[in-house]
Structure 1
Amino acid sequence: MTHTSNSLLPFLGVLKVTGEDRAAFLHNQLSNDINNLPASQACYATYNTPKGRVLANMLVLNTGDALWLIMAQDLIEVTAKRLRMFVMRSKAVLENASETLSVAGSLQPTDEDFDLPETPPLLLNATEQQDFWRIALPHAGELLVGDTASLPEYHEKSAYQWLSHEINHGYPWIVAANTETCVAQMLNQHLLGGVHFRKGCYPGQEIIARAQYRGQVKRGLVMYGSQNLVEAGEALLDDADEEVGVVINTVPQAMGSLILAVVKHSVGEERLHTEKAAGLDFKRRFYQVNPAS
């Protein structure tokens, strides 16, 4: 019998958006089609600077009476503050709901399948339980979001299994340490269903569209292993100590760290390092090779 691994994921939190203009407001700010996000559905999305750099990536859940933005806990306050600058006359209220709502992961470990979906899943099914929502993700894990008391407790081993699972499948989470370092395509958001290319304008839309159609993205997601502990936001360096990438997410392993990073395509499968860690060994790349790069 396969054991299901469940745990609170304290590094994720919820930004709750209410008000009758909530969908229209977020539609104009995020990279996905929030206007047409049905109730009991979720989607990935990014919030970007005008220069196309990802401030935060997230799952947006339509609960029917609110939109819940699930993102890195350490980005909620700064994201809410920035979004509030653009509310103006819109009837939309943004609230850091992390004191009452939590996020947990539910995972049934299986043989790893690293293939990205052939078609980006723009909508993800969500089902409402008694006091929480269950969101089915493309990598076969489920996010549970709702009242903290109704969710599984925190178990370090299970939380690490979740992090490892997401890194193994190439699902990144931008955190405070690496916000504004990447455009959406470097994080494979266009392949994971986080970018809708026909929805109209939003901050960074021109840059993201140009990168998509002119093949200008020269960095992508790569997984590494290291015998050292590595932290999100650390710069990756080549043999000449030139900066070639940035660490996005890490999880401790029995012998070091498993690492998801964005690096230059040109470094290929080279062994890299950080100022603190002597060697990062290439394991797998998740980006699609672009001949123009």
Structure 2
Amino acid sequence: MKILQLENRGVFRLSGPEAFSFLQGLVTNDLNLIKEGHAVYAALLTPQGKFFYDMIIFKDGDDLLLDVEADSKQDFYRRLMLYKLRADLTITDISDTHHVFAATEQPSSGIFAPDPRHSDLGYRGITDHRPEGTALSLPDYENLRLRCGVPDGSRDMEREKYFWLETDAERLNGVSFTKGCYIGQELTARMKHRTNLKKRLVPVSSTDESLETGADILTESGKKAGTLRTVSGTHALAYLRLEYIGDNLSLENGTAISIID
């Protein structure tokens, strides 16, 4: 088994009799799907249906454990406290003692589940100790994540700019259309049933390693088709106008860009 500690992620514990109902009314996915050995990918959105924070949610007894972006922990906590009001729950940052890991196989200890976003990513989990296993390199994991088209927080999804469905959240099991109300639900449902997406995150590759985060992607006629987000080697995520997916795409330096099916 290979294992990698994801140091850019933090952990919150939600405990108390109203922890489940509180979070269920906020996030994009149905927490009833969470059980032992099964985690849920979800997001907290703006009222306009745009990305705020993403998370992977695990069950630990009666508590919920939230795997969140470490750099936005304080803002995320303040946002939860705004919604908490008099709800009977406790929100605790336990990042100093518990850490997030990715693993190629199911570890024998800790709270782990198949990564809910894509089966090729193996297992995802939270534990207070490092499970046994050989090291999985961060570059190898990043290349795999990008090939799978899986975004990683605000590195790939611009906060308060990208609509949740533009992040490919439906394919990545990050949204429920049957659970009922949550923040941003009305706009998300409308985009699903009444409109066609014009932009979306898509995985791309190139023939060399000249990709650079933030670089513009151009059509053959020179129109801007999109922008590169996270880059690792010859792979990247791109925020792309879908009308140009079938075109010959390249960067300004002439590097050809291909969409990964």
TM-score (norm 1): 0.76
**Corresponding position: 1:64 with 2:45:** no
1:79-113 deviation per Cα after TM superposition (whole angstroms, max 9, x unaligned) = 121111010011122222221111121127xxxxx
Higher mean alpha-carbon deviation, 91-100 vs 36-45, is at 36-45
> C-alpha deviations, 1:118-140, integer Å up to 9, x for none?
xxxxxxxxx8844x112113423
In the TM superposition, what are the counterparts of 1:261-276 in structure 2 within 5 Å?
Answer: 261-268=238-245, 269-273=247-251
1:284 aligned residue: 259
Q: 1:205–1:74: structure 2 CA closer, same or farther, 3 Å change rule? A: same
One-letter amino acid matched to 2:23: L
* 2:9 corresponding residue in structure 1: 12
Measure, in 1, the Cα distance between the counterparts of 2:260 and 2:201.
6
Separation of aligned partners in 1, 2:260 and 2:180: 31
Equivalent runs, 1:223-238 vs 2, <5 Å? 223-225=203-205, 227-228=209-210, 230-231=212-213, 234=214, 236-238=216-218
Check 1:186–1:66 CA distance in 2 against 1; reply closer, same or farther (3 A cut).
same
C-alpha distance in structure 2 between counterparts of 1:236 and 1:77, whole Å: 32
Aligned residue for 2:39, secondary structure, equals strand
Q: 1:160 to 1:238 in 2, by over 3 A?
A: same
Q: Report the Cα offset of residue 243 of structure 1.
A: 5.4
Q: Tell me the CA shift for residue 29 of structure 1.
A: 0.6
Aligned-residue RMSD, C-alpha: 2.8
Q: Which amino acid aligns with 1:189?
A: A
What percentage of aligned pairs have identical amino acids? 23
Does the CA contact (< 8 Å) of 2:107 and 2:131 recur in 1? no
Kindly state the Cα deviation for residue 13 of structure 1 after the two structures are TM-superposed: 2.2
> In 2, Cα distance between the equivalents of 1:29 and 1:211?
19
Query: Where does residue 111 of structure 2 map in the other structure?
Result: 133
The C-alpha deviation readout for 1:53-101, integer Å capped at 9, x for no partner, is 1112221111123211113222222212111101001112222222111
Number of equivalenced pairs: 253
Separation in 2, partners of 1:219, 1:99:
38
- Equivalence for 2:124: 143
Runs of 5+ unmatched residues, structure 1: 109-126, 287-293
Contact 2:108 2:131 in 1 (8 A): no
Matched, 1:23 2:20: yes
CA distance in 2, matches of 1:77, 1:192: 26
For 1:229 and 1:93, how far apart are their aligned partners in 2?
44
- Structure 2 residue 167 is the aligned partner of structure 1 residue 187: yes
